[in-house]
Chains A and B, each alone.
Chain A
Amino acid sequence: MTDKTDYRTAGTAWDNAWKIAAGLGFLGLAGAGAGFAADGQRFAFSYLFAFVVFLTISIGATFFVLLQHLTNAGWSVTVRRTAEFFMSALPIFALLFLPIAASVDHLFPWWHDHGAQHASATAVEHVEEHGPAAAEANHVEGMHSENAHAQHVAGHRLSNEEIEHQLHAEVMASKGWFLSKGFFVGRAVVYFLFWTFLAMKLFRNSTLQDTTRDLKLTNRSQSMAPAATFGLALTTTFAAFDWLMSLLPNWYSTIFGVQIFATTMVAILSVLVLMGYAMRASGLSGKAITTEHFHDLGKLLFGFNVFWAYISFSQFFLIWYASIPEETVFFHLRWSNGPWKYISVAIVVLHLVVPFALLLSRNTKRHAGQKVLALGAALILAMHVVEMYWLVMPNYAAAKGIGPDLAGALAPHWMDLACLFGVGGVYLAAVFYRMSQHAVVPVGDPRFARSKRFENV
């Protein structure tokens, strides 16, 4: 294969990639649509899983681009455009979010005024059992759940389940305004508006420079990067809280936003390695993406993968060590002796241990055509998909009332795959379409020549 010197996809197989992706996406969405009609609850979880798989890649791409501008990086210029393509399709997730908005009822236990319902239900029971006077007495004593509980034990023994029910209701009622329909939707709108603005602005600054060579565009991206990083960090955190953490509305973890940030970086870096590999193999990137870029991307992938492990471990370890029931519930669903435990172990081994060994050596990042590096990146990307499945799906079993120790807790469904193809197809079609419209490296960047020539010394 001869090297392209214009860095354009015209006349290569890449030019039609978006059509293939769109075709697959259409098939996937058709399947998912049929699933939606057949089993709305399963569809909801399958779709959310597929949605976060690709959303994290796209947000990761945006973080990557911002980090390059934030640090005025020169080395990464030739691979930055690939990240920009993956970033540029971020707005499409606003559309892809619609099926989630349509099935929030299935996904989020708090959506149907859970707390209020429980609270009123308990109150009614209470009044029925003890008459209005007892309920009044409770109220006077401050209505702490413990007080209520003590009263119950003295009079009529409440089952553990009922107590839990009531505690749950109180907690949910106390954060009702945050986990409320209007605010939830309002927040989502804010995230998508911000992400759309960011992705379009950064992409335009970069592609415009291909022809204008205007240095001001570099300055503009560099000067917006710090505030944009702030905004992206906050929106990503709260999106993670809204769409993933609140699946289990009683559970909380302060590190959760950082954890999702780590997954976005790991995802995009493995994508960049694989895309670079494919582009080089087909000659599309010419001589612009060199061994040095693979070496650096490999180092970053290795580093962020360890960072991801560090954050994930911190979350697990602190919750395990303190063993507070409100917090352990998350890992109870995933580490109990049941099918999910195998997935958890697989994530530790195949997302951390094996890639660690594959990517540690300088040789694997520089030699043998980066085959080992690409293998490591592919493994990490595959495990990224598994990790997102692991984050979302145990909640489906919980919603169905299937205990985590039962074989049925992990029940893969054809809809998982349909949604993965549906969301992935649409997203990648948008990415590859953008790719067919622009040079695949930022030829107008003032640091372009430097990036092509830099060496790891």
Chain B
Amino acid sequence: MSFDAPIKAIGEKDLVAPKSTFKSITEAVSRVTENPAPKGWWIAFLTAFSFTGVLLGSIGYLFWRGVGVWGNNSPVGWAWDITNFVWWVGIGHAGTLISAVLFLFRQKWRTSINRFAEAMTIFAVICALIFPGIHVGRVWHAYYMFPIPNQMGAWPNFKSPLLWDVFAVGTYFTVSSLFWFVGLIPDLATLRDRAKNSLRRMVYGFFSLGWRGSNRHWQNYERAYMILAALSTPLVLSVHSVVSFDFATSVEPGWHTTIFPPYFVAGAVFSGFAMVMTLLLVARSVFKLTDLVTITHVELMNKIMLATGSLVGYAYAMEFFVAWYSGNEYERYVFINRATGPYAWAYWIMITCNVISPQLFWSKRLRTNIPLSFVVSIFINIGMWFERFVIIVTSLHRDFIPSSWGYFHPTLVDITTYLGSLGVFFTLFLLFLRWVPMIAIAELKSILPEADPHFGDHHEEAHEGDSHGEPSLATSAEGH
């Protein structure tokens, strides 16, 4: 047993099932891409793919008829379009948090879930990017969002947070993709080496960039990985902060409040973890990966959801309290209207799903309960969608004067566009499951006892003697 062996008496646990070995991990992960797809995969894939078609149809109709086919009105100029955008961007954040922040914090348990979450990040950002593009109405002018030199001398407004959003999300997508791909290289090489036909060998060989696993390769790889992690970490904060600026730089009560940047980040991580949980619980049981993604991972993720859900609850409470404390009647009204007005149903769905449901995870029994974890993760996905809906629609629907009051009703096209974006997400995700190792093989191996340089070195254990939960008298053991 190595020096870092878990001390069970103070609640430390094994990170993978103790019987796992290098070989069993490679087998378990690679076989998913090598064996024929199970029937369930095909059903899921074809369903998701059909919904991708629904999205294309909805967007085509939108382009043909204009944004009037949505329920957006005056005063509710932003509705499901921007709600979906913020929801999808937020979901992406867990991937970056797991791959970058947890990496820098040496949270080794991340190795079982990071690949999965990173892939989810990229697909979620793709879904998110659809919405700002299509909500502009005159879609043939969408390129105005980019600072492209043109003969009209027309430039975007650099003082507008909407433009910063283009840069922020664009950067985020680029860096996340790079990070994901760099992490994939050693594993793609593993698939290449296991390939039984030449097409597979060629394709995986191409994408593994000539990886041979030499010492020099590993050194460069680890350095690149560290640098990308360091670059991604500020992105976790910056992207959703900029998204929050879309709202908070305005003078709109309900939108303009200083806590928005960190509150949006916390909410993003929260919703992202919920989505990882939803997908992971299905994948680990379908593809029999329960040795690698253990109940410990589920428990730790639930703890993070409890923490981030509570941070979000803190932000809701601060907003409400300070709206009252401000003495500003419009501020006060917006929040009272949220909780008791025509959208009270949305507000209380949000509170129930986001603040109350994760509180169940205070109980160890409940947070290690798989079916319950699944249900709560779905609740949080719903709740976080409603959070954005509440922020956007309830703040807009009653403007400063009652003549500018209205109510938003989604149309069929609103609904099909949203469902269609889910279709795109799941299509990409299911393809990922089949063609790319869904767990980071090389990284996961690094946390096995076998990876310890002192593996099998029994002398040390006898000397240090702390692995039995019996702390050594360190002062004497060091022999000063």
Query: Would you give 10 A-B contacts (Cβ < 8 Å), ordered by A?
Result: A178-B325, A219-B11, A222-B10, A233-B314, A234-B314, A250-B327, A254-B318, A254-B322, A310-B261, A446-B10
Whether B3 and A450, one on each chain, are in contact in the complex, defined by CB atoms closer than 8 angstroms, is: yes
> Do A310 and B259 touch (CB < 8 A)?
no
CB-CB under 8 A for A311 and B262, given A237-B318, A318-B249: yes
Residue positions of B touching A, CB distance < 8 A: 3-4, 7, 9-12, 104-106, 234, 237, 241, 245, 248-251, 256-262, 306-307, 310, 314-315, 318-319, 322, 324-328, 362, 464, 466, 469, 471-472, 474-475, 477-478, 480
B12 A72 Cβ-Cβ under 8 A: yes
With both chains docked as a complex, state the minimum distance between the C-beta of A76 and any C-beta of chain B, in angstroms.
Answer: 11
Write the nearest CB–CB distance from B258 to chain A, whole angstroms: 4
Query: Which residue of B is nearest A454, CB measured?
Result: B4
Which chain B residue lies CB-closest to A241? Answer: B325
**A residues less than 8 Å from B325 (CB atoms):** 175, 178, 241, 252
CA distance A321 to B322 in the complex (A): 19
| B residues less than 8 Å from A257 (CB atoms) | 318
Which A residue's beta carbon lies closest to that of B8? A215
Contact A175 B324, CB 8 Å, known A322-B250, A449-B477: yes
A326 to B261, CA, bound (A): 20
By the criterion CB–CB under 8 Å, are A215 and B469 in contact? Answer: yes
Are A252 and B322 neighbours in the complex by a CB distance under 8 Å?
A: yes
User: Contact between B4 and A449 (Cβ–Cβ < 8 Å)?
Assistant: no
Contact across chains for B471 and A446 when beta carbons are under 8 A apart:
yes
Q: Is the CB of B241 within 8 A of A314?
A: yes
A286 touches B474 (CB 8 A): no
In the complex, what's the smallest C-beta–C-beta distance from B304 to chain A, in angstroms?
Answer: 11
- Is the beta-carbon distance between B328 and A326 smaller than 8 angstroms? yes
Contacting pair A258 B262 (CB below 8 A): yes
Q: Interface code A71-93, partner B: CB below 8 Å = 1, 0 otherwise?
A: 11001000000000000000000
Those of A15-66 within 8 Å (CB) of chain B: none
Interface size on A, residues (CB 8 A): 56
A251 to B472, CA, bound (A): 55
Q: Which residues of B contact A105 (CB under 8 A)?
A: none
How far does the alpha carbon of A81 sit from the alpha carbon of B480 in the complex, in Å? 21
Q: Inside 8 A of A7's CB, which chain B residues have their CB?
A: 475
Please provide the 8 A-B residue pairs with the shortest distance between their CB atoms, ordered closest to farther.
A171-B327, A254-B259, A255-B258, A5-B480, A321-B249, A314-B261, A255-B259, A446-B471
Instruction: Flag if A315 contacts B258 (CB, 8 Å).
Output: yes
Interface membership of A287, Cβ < 8 A: yes
Are A322 and B256 in contact, with the CB atoms below 8 A?
yes
Q: Give Cα A75 to B107, complex, Å.
A: 12
Q: Which residue on A lies nearest to B311, using beta carbons?
A: A233
A253 within 8 A of B: yes
Is there a chain B Cβ closer than 8 Å to A443's Cβ? yes
Minimum distance in angstroms from B333 CB to a CB of chain A:
13
Residues of B within 8 A of A6 (CB): 475
User: In angstroms, how far is the closest chain A Cβ from the Cβ of B8?
Assistant: 10
Interface residue A118 (Cβ < 8 Å from any Cβ of B) = no
Q: Is the interface of A mostly helix, strand, loop or mixed?
A: helix
- A324 CB–B CB distance under 8 Å: yes
Q: Are B310 and A230 in contact, CB atoms less than 8 angstroms apart?
A: yes
Q: In the bound complex, what is the Cα–Cα distance between A310 and B234 (angstroms)?
A: 10
A254 touches B258 (CB 8 A): yes
Task: For the complex formed, measure the closest distance between the CB of A220 and the CB atoms of chain B, giving whole angstroms.
Answer: 10
Which B residues are in CB contact (< 8 Å) with A113?
A: none
Whole-angstrom distance between the Cβ of B348 and the nearest chain A Cβ: 21
The distance in angstroms between the C-alpha atoms of A382 and B175, with both chains bound, is 36
Chain B: CB-nearest residue to A252: B326
Is B258 within 8 A of A319, CB to CB? yes
Given contacts A175-B325, A314-B258, A326-B326, contact A447 B7 (CB under 8 A): yes
**How many whole Å from B467's CB to the nearest CB in chain A?**
10
Nearest-Cβ distance from residue A309 to partner chain B, whole angstroms: 11
Report the separation of the CA atoms of residues A208 and B4 in the bound assembly, to the nearest whole angstrom: 25
A322 contacts B262, CB within 8 Å? no
Tell me which residues across on chain A come within 8 A of B326, comparing CB atoms. 171, 252, 326
Nearest residue (CB) in B for A227 is B362
Is B475 in contact with A170, judged by CB distance below 8 angstroms?
Answer: no
Cα–Cα distance between A58 and B10 once the two chains are bound (Å): 27
For the complex, is A444 an interface residue (Cβ under 8 Å from B)?
yes
Q: Which of B106, B248, B475, B477 contacts A318 (CB 8 A)?
A: B248
A449 to B2, CA, bound (A): 13
- How far does the alpha carbon of A131 sit from the alpha carbon of B376 in the complex, in Å? 64
Which residues from chain A contact B9 at a C-beta distance below 8 Å?
215, 219, 446
Nearest neighbor of B9 in chain A, beta-carbon distance: A215
Residues of A with C-beta under 8 A to B471: 213, 215, 444-446, 448-449
Min CB distance B358 to A, Å, is: 12
Q: Check B327 against A318 for contact (C-beta < 8 Å).
A: no
Residue A3 is within 8 A (CB to CB) of chain B in the complex = yes
B327 touches A175 (CB 8 A): yes
Q: In the complex, which of the residues A215, A252, A256, A315 has the most CB atoms of chain B within 10 Å of its own CB atom? A: A252
Contacts of B362 in A (CB 8 A): 226
Contacts of A178 in B (CB 8 A): 325
From B250, B258, B306, B464, residue with most partner A Cβ within 10 Å: B258
B306 neighbours in A (Cβ, 8 Å): 226
| CA A236 to CA B249, docked complex, whole Å | 27
> Within residues 311 to 332 of chain A, which ones have a CB less than 8 A from any CB in chain B?
311, 314-315, 318-319, 321-322, 324, 326
List the A side residues contacting B307 at CB < 8 Å: 226
Interface presence of A187 (CB below 8 A): no
Q: A215-B10, A446-B9 are in contact. Are A324 and B256 (CB under 8 A)?
A: yes
- Interface: A280 (CB within 8 A): no
What residues of chain A lie closer than 8 Å to B241, measured between beta carbons?
A: 310, 314
| A222 (CB) vs chain B CBs: closest residue | B11
Q: Is the CB of A258 within 8 A of B259?
A: yes
Once bound together, how far apart are the Cα atoms of A226 and B309, in whole Å?
13
Task: Kindly state the separation between the CA atoms of A256 and B11 in the bound complex, as whole angstroms.
Answer: 36
Q: Which residues of chain A come closer than 8 Å to B11, judged between CB atoms? A: 72, 219, 222
Q: Is the CB of A322 within 8 A of B12?
A: no
- Measured in the bound complex, the distance between the Cα atoms of B261 and A254 in whole Å is 11
Residue in B10, B262, B464 whose CB lies within 8 Å of A449: B464
The smallest C-beta distance from B109 to any residue of chain A, in angstroms, reads: 11
Find the A residue at minimum CB distance from B255. A322
Q: Across the interface, do A287 and B480 meet the contact criterion of CB distance under 8 Å?
A: yes
Question: Is the CB–CB distance between B466 and A450 below 8 Å?
Answer: yes
Partner of A254, one of B249, B319, B478: B319
Name the residue on B nearest A286 (C-beta): B480
Residues of A within 8 A of B314 (CB): 233-234, 237
| Bound Cα distance from A311 to B475, whole angstroms | 42
Is A370 in the interface zone, CB < 8 Å from B?
no
- The A410-449 residues at the B interface (CB cut-off 8 A) are 443-449
Q: How far is the CA of A146 from the CA of B475 in the complex (A)?
A: 74
Shortest A295–chain B CB gap in Å is 12
Interface hub of B105, B474, B478 (most chain A Cβ within 10 A): B474
